[in-house]
Amino acid sequence: MLYISKKHMEEVISLNIMMDSIEKAFKIYESKNFQMPDRMHVDRKEGTILYMPCFTDTVSGTKIVSTFPENIKDGIASIQGTMILNKSKTGEPLAMMDGAALTAYRTGAVGGVGIRHTTREDCESVGLIGTGVQGFYQLLYACAARPIKRIYIYDLSKERVNFFKERLEEKLKNVEIKIVQSPEDLVVNSEIIITATPAQSPVLPDDKELLKGKHVIAIGSYKLEMREIPKSLYELLDELYIDTEFAAEESGDVIVPVREGWIRSEQVKVFGKLLGDKENINKNKGTSLYKSVGMALFDLVVAEAIYDEAIKKCIGQKLGE
């Protein structure tokens, strides 16, 4: 049995392999050859704990993630997590890994796959609204998927955005990183736009002229009351791509636009159904929106890929019997 920490993941992970494994997960999802019970969640006074089990032919796994907002007061990460990976056939544990790092890598990879298929191949600029952990990894994947030269970042908190810029510069030495003063500035300068905020109202300007031709990857909204994307963007779309059917049931960025008639439900397409047929995904590379909410199957398939790489590269801590 292997323990794979956040540091081990940093050593072992190739972002392109992670995106390939998300594409594999999309295919498993469409083949229906997996079992994904409903998430179980427990509410505590400190926050929420989520249990996300999933099973494929080769592996099964359970991600346990807690979100305790008050941790931040004590300088402790609010999101804590563990992934247990098992052999499907026997139930034997194969590995335990850092669940928070896994979540960041897989969420970034799901966004990265969106960039791979919905954006122009020559995009050189990307803008990020919401400079949290998820945003950080989204940008790493954006740079792996496209020849990015310029990154624009925006956040309501000046302190956070400065700190974020420093951390990002350490990772991405050949990319120019600029803090912008408004979402408008960000949209004007960026070909790809990533939103990764907990916002309850749109974080992009509701301006058709500004948004036209932009490729938006929206990560934040996973509940009805959460919204990042303005009405204008929907009116520019031929199709809205969602990572799973759950997005249409859970995210305010899909539910509200369909309900209000800004987009027709037939235009909302489950991404995995189109994958493998490049002509079917934003073929003219016009204005696009890719909305991700995630699912346990993504975690599982990515965890399996990380485990395989760790074994191959002899990285990770072996656990005795």
Residue closer to a second copy (CB basis): 55 or 262: 55
> What crossing angle do the helices spanning 15-31 and 99-118 adopt, rounded to 10°?
80
The structure tokens listed for 139 are 């940008």
Interface characters, 260-299, with a second copy (x: CB under 8 A): ----------------------------------------
Is residue 300 a contact residue for a second copy (CB under 8 A)?
no
Closest contact distance (angstroms) between CB of 39 and a second copy is 10
The structure tokens listed for 14 are 């190739």
Q: Could you tell me the smallest distance in angstroms from the CB atom of residue 84 to a second copy?
A: 5
75: left (phi over 0), alpha (psi -120 to 50) or beta: left
What is the crossing angle of helices 15-31 and 133-145, to 10°? 100
Size of the site for a second copy (CB under 8 A): 40
Nearest distance, CB of residue 265 and a second copy, angstroms: 32
Nearer to a second copy, 58 or 280 (CB): 58
Find how far residue 25's CA is from the centre of its chain.
14
Of residues 55 and 152, the one with the C-beta less far from a second copy:
55
Q: Which residues pair with 255 in a beta bridge?
A: none
Residue whose CB is less far from a second copy, 38 or 266: 38
Q: Which one of the spans 89-97, 133-141, 168-176, 195-203 is the region binding a second copy (CB under 8 A)?
A: 89-97
The contact pattern for a second copy, residues 49-78, with x = CB under 8 A and - = no contact, is: x-x-x-x----x-x-x-xxx--x--x-x--
The token pair at 211 is 């948004």
Half-sphere exposure of 304 (CA within 13 A, CB side): 21
Distance CA 137, CA 18 (A): 12
Residues 221 and 177: their CA atoms lie apart, in Å, by 25
Residue 212 CB neighbour total at 10 angstroms: 12
Q: Is 34 in the site for a second copy (CB under 8 A)?
A: no
The CB-of-65 to a second copy minimum distance in angstroms stands at 9
Nearest to 57 by CA among 90, 84, 33: 33
CA–CA dist 267, 237 (Å, integer)? 9
Contact flags string 96-135 toward a second copy, x per CB under 8 A: x---------------------------------------
Q: Does 84 contact a second copy by CB under 8 A?
A: yes
Cβ contact 217:111 at 8 Å: yes
Q: By the criterion CB under 8 A, which residues form the site for a second copy?
A: 3, 5-8, 35, 37, 40, 42, 44, 46-47, 49, 51, 53, 55, 60, 62, 64, 66-68, 71, 74, 76, 80, 82, 84, 86, 88-93, 96, 317, 319-321
